[in-house]
C-alpha cells in the first residue's frame, strides 16, 4: 500500500548536522533526506538523538554545524514560528497541548497562522472577523470529524486521557495544513486499538493530503507496516537508512537496537 | 545642555574630586545592602527548599520585628524575647504549611506565589491588630556610634549588621551543603513529587524551611527595626529585596549577598551623585531599573541556574 | 426546570459561538443591563442618595472593573503577571489631564480614548522585556515600571502643568455641550451614565477579543509559550499586543478614576497598593474571565462598605482602624481560600452555580 507512486523530490535535506549541549554531543554529523509525500520513520534506542533531530528540523534547537535545505532554501538557524510559517508542523513526546483550552480551541489555534483579520475587527466581532472565524471553524470541524473526536469538542484537554490528548495534538498539527509533519512517538502509551486508529489516521493524512511525514516510533510492527523508509540513529549518529526490510536485516542495526529473536 | 552636563559629567567630576566621600557613600551603601541581603536570604531559603516564591517574607520580617519589640516593651528580657519570637515563627510556619501549602501542593508556582501574597495581607492585618499601628523604636543595645576607620566614616551599627549577616550565611551554607537535611531540602526544591516518592517527609521539610526563614526574618527585623524603627515602611524595603534576587538569582545564597551589596551600594551612589540632577528620590526606582537592565542581559541573574527548556 | 438548554439546538456555527448561547443567559444579561442602566439610578434617586450610591460607589466600582479587565487580559489571558497596573492607570490619568488642558476644545470622550492610546504606547515600551524575561522575573520587572512611573509623575512638574502646590484638579468637561461629566458642576447621574456606557462598550470589545483569534493566541502563550511558537504564533507581537490592550484599558480606567471620580489627578492614588488591589480583584473574581473582572471589582469595592455598615446594625461598634485591619485579614484569608478551593474565582463558582441550575431540581 505504500508505493513509489507518489514519492517526489527531496523536500528536506539535512547535511552534516552536529548538535551539542554544553559537553554533551546529541547529534554528530547527521545527514538525512526526506522526500515529498513519503513516510519516514526514525528509530533507535533511547537517547540516540531522535527528538533532538526533530527539534533541529523545526528550528527549536540550532545546530553548531550543518545546514538544512527545505524547499530549496538553505538555512542553519530558524525560529520555530518561521518553521511553522513554512509548513512544518509537529507533535511532541510529552503532549504539548494548551491545557487550559478545550479540544476545539486547541485545534483552532492550529489555524492561527492563517487568520489575518487584525484585532480591531476582532474587537467588533461581527463582520470580517466573524467570517474568517467561521471559515476556520469549518476546517477545524472537518479535522474533528476525521479524527473522530466530536464528543470531546468542548472538553478542556487537561481532563482527557493520554491517548485522546495525543489525538487532539495530531489534530492541532493537521489544522496547520502542513507540508511536513513531524510526529514524536505518536503512539506511545496507546493500546492496540488506539495504535491501529492512529496508523489509519497517519496513512489517511499521507494519502489524501499528500503530507510528508517523519515519525519517531518504537513499535517495530508499526514502523514496518506504514513507513516507506527508515532511518536509524544510535548515540547521535545515523547508522542505517533505507527501505524497512533492508534496515531490519542490517547487522549494525540489529546489534544496536533490534536484537535477535531467541529460540524459546 | 545643563542637564546633559549634570547627568554625564558632573557626577563623575564630583567623585574624582572627593574620593573619600565616594568611598564613604559606597561603604554606607554596601552596609545597607547587607540588610537587603538578609531579607533576600529569606526568600532564597524558601524558594530553594520548597520552590515557593514567598512574597510574604517582607511581612514576616515586619511581623517578627513587631513581636520582638512588643515583647521588649513588655519588659521581657532580650534573650527570652528572642526565644518567644522564634517560637511564634515556628507556630506560624506550622500554620502556613498546614493551611496554605499542603492544600496547594503540586499547583503551579504562580498559584503558590499568589497564596503568599494572601499571607502577606493576613499577617499585616493581624500584626496591626495585635500590636497597633504606631511606629515603635527598637533598642537592644546595638552600638550605633559612628567611627572612623582608616580615614573613612563608618557606623558601628553597620559593622554589626555585616557581621551578623556574614555568620548567618556561613551557617546556612554549611547547613545546605553538608547535612542530610540540607540535601533533602534541595531535593524538595527540585521536584516535590519525586521527593515524596523517595520518602522525604514534605511536611517536616517545609516546617523546617519556613522556621529557618522565620529566624532569618527575625534577625533582619531586629536590624532593620533598630535602624528605621519598626513600622510598615519596612515592607517597601522588603519589596526592594526582589531586585536583589534578580541580580543574585533566586536560588543562590551567595547571590543574595552579592546582589544585596550591589543594590545597596548602587542605590546610594545613584541617589547621592545623580539624585540632585533628577529631583531626588531616585532610590524609589533605581534598584528595579537596575534589575530590569540586568534581566535583559542575563535572565537568570548572576548566580542563578540557566533553565533549559526541554520539549 | 427554569434553566434548560433542551430544545435550543444550534444549527450554525455562528449560533454556537455566541457569547450567550442559551436563551436564559441572554435574558439574564438583559436583566443586568436593565438594572445597571435603569434600576440602580432609579433606586438611588428615589432614596435621595444619588451622590453616594452613584458617585462614590458605582463610579469607582466601574472604573476598577475596567482596570481589572485590563489586568485580566495581561495576566489572566496572556499569563504575564503584572504589578504595574497602578503605574499605567497613572499614565492614563495624567495623559488625560495634559490632553484636556492642552486642547480644551477636544471632546471629553476623545480625551479619554487618546489617553488610553498614550498608555498603550507606554505599555508596549515596558512590554518589550517580556520576550526575554518570564515568570516572576517579569513580575519584578513590572515593579520597575510601577515605581518609575509614579516617581516620574511626582517629580517632573511638566505633568502637573507646573502647579505650585502640586495638586491638580480635573478640568470640567461636558459630553453634550452642557452635560458635565468632570469637574464640580457634574451631576452624579451624568457621571454614572458616562462611565457606565464607556465600560460596557469596552467590556464588550474585550469579550470579543478574548473569544476570537487574539484571545486564543494569548491563552496559548499563557499555557505553553514554547508550543505556541511552534504553532506559528509570534511571541513578541502577541505579548506586546497584550501589553498594549491591557494598558489601554488600565489607562482609561485611571483617567476615569481621576477625572470623573476623585476630580483630582495625583500620582499617589495609583501607587503599588492599587496594583495589588487590582490583582486581588482578578484573583478573587477569576483569572481569564471578563465576568470575573466585574465580580472581583464589585467584591473588593463593596466589602469595606459591608464591614463599615453591617456590624453597627448588629450592635457591634468597630473602629475605623479595626475595619481596615480586619479587611486585610479577610482579603488575605479569602485569597488563600480561593486559590485552594476555586482557583478560577467567583466566575467559576458562578458557572458551577449555573450548571447546578441546569439540573435543578435533580441533584445530579
Q: What is the DSSP string of C187-212?
A: -HHHHHHHHHHHHHHHHHHHHHHHHS
Please give the Cα distance from C194 to C252 (Å, whole number). 13
- Please give the residue of chain C at the shortest CA–CA distance from A131: C14
Please give the Cα distance from B280 to C95 (Å, whole number). 23
Identify which of B115, B240, B113 has the alpha carbon closest to the alpha carbon of residue C284. B115
Contact A180, A87 (CB under 8 A): yes
What per-residue confidence (pLDDT) applies to A260?
Answer: 67
What per-residue confidence (pLDDT) applies to C354?
Answer: 77
Domains and CATH numbers, chain C: 20-359 (1.10.3470)
Note whether A96 contacts B311, CB cutoff 8 Å: yes
Q: How confident is the model at residue B49 (pLDDT cuts 50, 70, 90)?
A: confident
What backbone phi and psi angles, to 5 degrees, belong to C264? -140, 145
Average pLDDT, chain A: 87
List, in sequence order, every residue forming a beta bridge with A89; answer none if it has no partner.
Answer: A181
- In angstroms, how far is CA B224 from the centroid of its own chain? 10
What per-residue confidence (pLDDT) applies to B4?
Answer: 72
Note whether B308 contacts A21, CB cutoff 8 Å: yes
C136 closest CB neighbour out of B53, B236, B285: B53
- In angstroms, how far is CA A112 from the centroid of its own chain? 18
- In angstroms, how far is CA C230 from the centroid of its own chain? 32
CB atoms closer than 10 angstroms to residue B108: 9
- Please give the residue of chain B at the shortest CA–CA distance from C153: B279
Please give the Cα distance from C144 to C148 (Å, whole number). 6
Average pLDDT, chain C: 85
Best of A51, A108, A123 to disrupt the C interface (most C CBs within 10 Å) is: A123
What per-residue confidence (pLDDT) applies to A232?
Answer: 92
Mean pLDDT of C338-357: 80
CB pairs < 8 Å spanning A and C: 99
Q: Where is pLDDT greater, at C332 or C364?
A: C332
Mean pLDDT of B238-255: 82
Chain C CB contacts of A133 under 8 Å are 17, 212-213
Does the pLDDT of residue A239 top 70, yes or no? yes
Quick check: C37 contacting B, CB < 8 Å?
A: no
Q: How confident is the model at residue C3 (pLDDT cuts 50, 70, 90)?
A: low
Please give the Cα distance from B131 to C164 (Å, whole number). 40
Note whether B122 contacts C135, CB cutoff 8 Å: no
Mean pLDDT of B164-168: 82
Note whether C144 contacts B114, CB cutoff 8 Å: no
Please give the Cα distance from C123 to C138 (Å, whole number). 14
CB atoms closer than 10 angstroms to residue C11: 7
Q: Where is pLDDT greater, at C60 or B30?
A: C60
Homologous superfamily (CATH) for A1-87+178-264: P-loop containing nucleotide triphosphate hydrolases (3.40.50.300)
pLDDT in tens, A42-83: 999 888 889 999 989 988 888 888 889 998 888 878 888 888
Q: Where is pLDDT greater, at B117 or C261?
A: C261
Q: Which stretch of B262-271, C46-55, C147-156 has the lowest confidence by average pLDDT?
A: C46-55
What per-residue confidence (pLDDT) applies to C253?
Answer: 96
Residue C356 C-alpha, separation from nearest chain B C-alpha, in angstroms: 25
Q: What percent of chain C lies above the pLDDT cut of 90?
A: 31
Quick check: C38 contacting B, CB < 8 Å?
A: no
- Please give the residue of chain A at the shortest CA–CA distance from B306: A22
Does the pLDDT of residue C45 top 60, yes or no? yes
What per-residue confidence (pLDDT) applies to B306?
Answer: 58
Q: Is C189 exposed, middle or buried (0-12, 13-18, 19+ CB in 10 A)?
A: middle
Q: Is the dihedral of CA B276, B281, B286, B287 positive or negative?
A: positive
What backbone phi and psi angles, to 5 degrees, belong to B121? -65, -40
Chain A CB contacts of B308 under 8 Å are 21
Does the pLDDT of residue C269 top 80, yes or no? yes
The answer to ipTM > 0.85 is: no
Does the pLDDT of residue B52 top 80, yes or no? no
Angle in degrees, CA A145, A146, A147, rounded to 5: 90
Quick check: C319 contacting B, CB < 8 Å?
A: no
Quick check: B308 contacting A, CB < 8 Å?
A: yes
- Please give the residue of chain B at the shortest CA–CA distance from A90: B311
pLDDT in tens, B275-297: 777 777 788 888 888 888 888 88
Please give the Cα distance from B53 to B43 (Å, whole number). 7
Q: What does A41-77 look like in DSSP terms, one character per residue?
A: EEE-STTSSHHHHHHHHTTSS--SEEEEEETTEEES-
Residue A251 C-alpha, separation from nearest chain B C-alpha, in angstroms: 32
Note whether B292 contacts C141, CB cutoff 8 Å: yes
Q: How confident is the model at residue A1 (pLDDT cuts 50, 70, 90)?
A: very low
Chain C CB contacts of A103 under 8 Å are none
Please give the Cα distance from C257 to C268 (Å, whole number). 13
Quick check: B296 contacting A, CB < 8 Å?
A: no
Quick check: B307 contacting A, CB < 8 Å?
A: no
Cell of B264: 545597596
Which stretches of chain C sit within 8 Å of chain A by CB?
13-14, 17, 205-206, 208-209, 212-214, 216-217, 219-220, 222-224, 226-235, 241, 245, 288
What per-residue confidence (pLDDT) applies to C99?
Answer: 92
A112 closest CB neighbour out of C206, C216, C224: C216
Residue B233 C-alpha, separation from nearest chain C C-alpha, in angstroms: 12
In CATH terms, B21-297 corresponds, of 1.10.3470, 1.10.1740, 1.10.1760, 3.40.50, to 1.10.3470
Quick check: A158 contacting B, CB < 8 Å?
A: no
List, in sequence order, every residue forming a beta bridge with A19; answer none if it has no partner.
Answer: A27
Q: How confident is the model at residue A3 (pLDDT cuts 50, 70, 90)?
A: very low
C23 dihedral zone (left: phi>0; alpha: psi -120 to 50; beta): alpha
Cell of B203: 511536611
pTM for this entry: 0.83
Identify which of A261, A262, A251, A229 has the alpha carbon closest to the alpha carbon of residue A43. A229
Q: Which stretch of C149-163, C171-185, C263-277 has the lowest confidence by average pLDDT?
A: C171-185
Please give the Cα distance from B224 to B212 (Å, whole number). 18
Note whether A109 contacts C13, CB cutoff 8 Å: no
- Please give the residue of chain C at the shortest CA–CA distance from A134: C13
Please give the Cα distance from B24 to B264 (Å, whole number). 13
Helix/strand/coil for A79: coil
Domain ranges of chain A: 1-87+178-264, 97-177
Domain ranges of chain B: 21-297
Note whether B311 contacts A21, CB cutoff 8 Å: no
Q: How confident is the model at residue B237 (pLDDT cuts 50, 70, 90)?
A: confident
- Please give the residue of chain B at the shortest CA–CA distance from A92: B311
Strands B152-155 and B146-149, bridge-based pairing = antiparallel
Please give the Cα distance from C341 to C339 (Å, whole number). 6
- Please give the residue of chain C at the shortest CA–CA distance from B112: C339
Does the pLDDT of residue B185 top 70, yes or no? yes
pLDDT in tens, C77-94: 998 889 999 999 999 999
Residue C205 C-alpha, separation from nearest chain A C-alpha, in angstroms: 5
Q: Which stretch of A8-17, A232-241, B217-226, C164-173 has the lowest confidence by average pLDDT?
A: C164-173
Q: Where is pLDDT greater, at C361 or B60?
A: B60
pLDDT in tens, B95-137: 888 888 888 876 777 777 778 888 888 888 888 888 876 777 7
Note whether C214 contacts A117, CB cutoff 8 Å: no
Please give the Cα distance from C191 to A230 (Å, whole number). 72
Quick check: B155 contacting C, CB < 8 Å?
A: no
Chain C CB contacts of B243 under 8 Å are 140
Note whether A122 contacts C14, CB cutoff 8 Å: no
Note whether A92 contacts B311, CB cutoff 8 Å: yes
Please give the Cα distance from B201 to B208 (Å, whole number). 11
What per-residue confidence (pLDDT) applies to A2?
Answer: 47
The DSSP element (H or E) to which B146 belongs, if any, is strand B146-149
Best of A56, A62, A79, A80 to disrupt the C interface (most C CBs within 10 Å) is: A80
Chains that touch B (3 or more CB pairs under 8 A): A, C
Chain C CB contacts of A84 under 8 Å are 229-232
pLDDT in tens, C205-244: 999 899 888 898 999 888 887 788 888 888 888 999 999 9
Quick check: C323 contacting B, CB < 8 Å?
A: no
List, in sequence order, every residue forming a beta bridge with A69; answer none if it has no partner.
Answer: A13, A74
Quick check: C322 contacting B, CB < 8 Å?
A: yes
Please give the Cα distance from B39 to B185 (Å, whole number). 20
Quick check: B308 contacting C, CB < 8 Å?
A: no
Q: How confident is the model at residue C317 (pLDDT cuts 50, 70, 90)?
A: low
Identify which of B225, B210, B287, B230 has the alpha carbon closest to the alpha carbon of residue B43. B210
pLDDT in tens, A94-137: 888 888 788 998 999 888 888 877 777 777 777 788 888 888 99
Query: Angle, to 10 degrees, between the axis of helix C272-285 and the axis of helix C85-102?
Result: 120
Residue B310 C-alpha, separation from nearest chain A C-alpha, in angstroms: 10
Contact C282, C68 (CB under 8 A): yes
Residue A50 C-alpha, separation from nearest chain B C-alpha, in angstroms: 13
Amino acid at each position: 500500500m505504500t508505493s513509489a507512486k507518489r514519492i517526489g523530490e527531496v523536500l528536506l535535506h539535512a547535511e552534516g548536522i552536529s548538535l551539542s549541549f554544553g559537553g554533551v554531543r546529541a547529534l554528530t554529523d547527521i545527514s538525512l533526506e526526506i522526500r515529498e509525500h513519503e513516510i519516514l520513520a526514525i528509530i533507535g534506542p533511547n537517547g540516540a538523538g531522535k527528538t533532538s533531530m526533530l527539534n533541529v528540523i523545526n528550528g527549536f534547537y540550532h545546530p553548531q554545524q550543518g545546514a538544512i535545505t527545505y524547499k530549496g532554501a538553505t538555512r542553519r538557524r530558524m525560529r520555530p514560528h518561521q518553521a511553522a510559517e513554512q509548513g512544518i508542523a509537529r507533535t511532541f513526546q510529552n503532549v504539548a497541548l494548551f491545557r487550559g483550552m478545550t479540544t476545539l480551541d486547541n485545534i483552532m489555534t492550529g489555524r492561527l497562522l492563517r487568520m489575518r483579520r487584525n484585532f480591531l475587527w476582532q474587537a467588533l466581532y461581527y463582520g470580517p472577523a466573524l467570517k474568517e472565524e467561521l471559515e476556520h471553524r469549518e476546517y477545524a470541524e472537518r479535522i474533528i470529524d476525521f479524527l473522530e473526536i466530536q464528543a470531546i469538542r468542548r472538553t478542556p484537554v487537561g481532563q482527557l486521557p493520554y491517548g485522546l490528548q495525543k489525538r487532539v495534538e495530531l489534530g492541532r498539527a493537521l489544522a496547520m495544513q502542513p507540508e511536513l509533519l513531524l510526529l514524536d512517538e505518536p503512539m506511545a502509551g496507546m493500546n492496540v486499538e488506539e495504535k491501529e486508529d492512529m496508523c489509519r489516521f497517519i496513512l489517511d493524512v499521507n494519502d489524501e493530503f499528500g503530507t510528508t511525514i517523519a515519525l519517531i516510533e518504537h513499535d517495530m510492527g508499526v514502523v514496518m507496516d506504514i513507513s516507506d523508509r527508515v532511518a536509524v540513529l544510535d548515540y547521535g549518529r545515523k547508522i542505517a537508512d533505507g527501505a524497512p526490510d533492508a534496515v531490519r536485516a542490517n547487522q549494525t542495526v540489529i546489534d544496536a537496537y533490534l536484537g535477535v529473536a531467541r529460540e524459546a | 545642555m545643563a542637564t546633559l552636563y549634570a547627568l554625564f559629567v558632573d557626577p563623575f567630576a564630583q567623585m574624582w574630586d572627593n574620593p573619600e566621600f565616594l568611598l564613604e557613600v559606597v561603604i554606607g551603601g554596601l552596609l545597607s545592602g547587607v540588610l537587603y541581603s538578609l531579607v533576600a536570604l529569606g526568600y532564597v531559603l524558601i524558594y530553594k527548599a520548597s520552590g515557593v516564591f514567598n512574597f510574604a517574607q517582607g511581612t514576616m520580617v515586619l511581623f517578627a520585628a513587631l513581636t520582638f519589640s512588643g515583647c521588649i516593651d513588655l519588659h521581657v528580657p532580650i534573650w527570652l524575647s528572642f526565644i518567644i519570637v522564634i517560637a511564634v515563627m515556628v507556630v506560624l510556619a506550622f500554620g502556613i504549611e498546614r493551611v496554605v501549602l499542603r492544600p496547594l501542593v503540586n499547583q503551579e508556582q504562580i498559584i503558590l506565589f499568589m497564596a503568599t501574597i494572601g499571607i502577606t495581607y493576613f499577617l499585616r492585618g493581624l500584626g496591626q491588630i495585635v500590636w497597633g499601628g504606631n511606629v515603635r523604636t527598637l533598642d537592644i543595645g546595638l552600638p550605633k556610634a559612628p567611627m572612623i576607620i582608616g580615614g573613612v566614616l563608618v557606623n558601628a551599627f553597620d559593622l554589626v549588621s555585616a557581621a551578623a549577616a556574614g555568620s548567618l550565611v556561613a551557617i546556612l551554607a554549611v547547613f545546605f551543603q553538608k547535612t542530610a537535611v540540607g540535601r533533602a531540602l534541595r531535593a524538595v526544591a527540585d521536584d516535590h513529587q519525586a521527593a515524596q516518592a523517595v520518602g522525604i517527609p514534605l511536611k517536616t521539610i517545609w516546617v523546617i524551611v519556613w522556621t529557618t526563614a522565620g529566624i532569618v526574618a527575625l534577625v533582619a527585623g531586629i536590624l532593620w527595626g533598630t535602624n528605621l524603627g519598626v513600622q510598615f515602611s519596612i515592607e517597601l524595603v522588603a519589596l526592594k529585596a526582589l531586585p536583589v534576587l534578580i541580580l543574585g538569582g533566586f536560588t543562590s545564597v551567595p547571590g543574595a549577598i552579592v546582589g544585596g551589596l550591589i543594590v545597596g551600594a548602587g542605590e546610594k551612589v545613584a541617589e547621592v551623585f545623580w539624585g540632585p540632577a533628577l529631583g531626588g528620590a531616585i532610590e524609589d526606582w533605581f534598584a528595579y531599573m537596575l534589575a530590569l537592565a540586568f534581566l535583559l542581559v542575563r535572565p537568570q541573574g548572576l548566580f542563578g541556574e540557566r533553565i533549559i527548556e526541554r520539549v | 426546570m427554569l434553566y434548560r438548554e433542551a430544545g435550543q439546538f444550534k444549527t450554525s456555527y455562528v449560533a454556537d459561538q455566541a457569547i450567550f448561547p442559551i436563551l436564559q443567559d441572554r435574558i439574564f444579561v438583559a436583566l443586568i443591563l436593565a438594572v445597571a442602566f435603569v434600576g440602580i439610578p432609579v433606586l438611588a434617586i428615589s432614596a435621595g442618595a444619588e451622590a453616594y450610591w452613584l458617585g462614590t460607589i458605582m463610579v469607582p466600582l466601574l472604573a476598577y472593573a475596567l482596570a481589572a479587565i485590563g489586568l485580566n487580559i495581561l495576566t489572566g489571558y496572556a499569563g504575564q503577571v503584572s504589578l504595574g497596573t497602578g503605574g499605567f492607570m497613572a499614565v492614563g490619568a495624567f495623559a488625560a489631564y495634559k490632553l484636556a488642558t492642552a486642547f480644551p476644545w477636544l471632546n471629553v470622550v476623545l480625551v479619554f480614548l487618546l489617553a488610553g492610546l498614550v498608555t498603550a504606547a507606554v505599555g508596549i515600551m515596558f512590554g518589550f522585556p517580556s520576550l526575554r524575561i518570564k515568570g516572576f522575573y517579569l513580575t519584578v520587572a513590572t515593579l520597575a515600571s510601577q515605581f518609575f512611573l509614579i516617581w516620574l509623575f511626582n517629580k517632573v512638574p511638566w505633568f502637573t502643568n507646573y502647579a505650585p502646590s502640586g495638586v491638580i484638579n480635573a478640568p470640567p468637561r461636558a459630553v453634550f455641550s452642557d452635560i458635565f461629566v468632570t469637574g464640580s458642576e457634574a451631576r452624579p447621574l451624568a457621571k454614572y451614565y458616562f462611565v457606565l456606557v464607556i465600560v460596557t462598550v469596552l467590556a464588550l470589545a474585550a469579550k470579543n477579543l478574548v473569544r476570537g483569534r487574539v484571545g486564543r493566541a494569548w491563552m496559548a502563550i499563557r499555557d505553553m509559550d514554547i508550543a505556541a511558537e511552534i504553532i506559528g504564533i509570534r511571541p513578541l507581537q502577541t505579548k506586546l499586543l497584550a501589553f498594549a490592550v491591557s494598558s489601554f484599558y488600565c489607562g482609561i480606567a485611571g483617567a476615569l478614576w481621576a477625572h470623573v471620580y476623585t476630580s483630582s489627578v495625583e500620582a499617589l492614588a495609583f501607587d503599588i497598593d492599587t496594583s495589588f488591589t487590582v490583582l486581588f480583584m482578578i484573583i478573587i473574581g477569576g483569572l481569564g474571565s471578563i465576568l470575573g473582572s466585574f465580580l472581583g471589582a464589585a467584591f473588593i469595592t463593596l466589602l469595606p462598605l459591608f464591614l463599615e455598615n453591617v456590624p453597627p446594625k448588629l450592635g457591634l461598634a468597630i473602629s475605623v482602624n479595626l475595619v481596615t485591619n480586619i479587611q486585610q485579614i479577610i482579603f488575605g484569608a479569602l485569597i488563600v481560600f480561593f486559590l485552594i478551593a476555586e482557583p478560577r474565582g467567583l466566575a467559576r463558582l458562578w458557572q458551577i452555580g449555573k450548571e447546578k441550575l441546569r439540573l435543578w431540581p435533580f441533584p445530579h
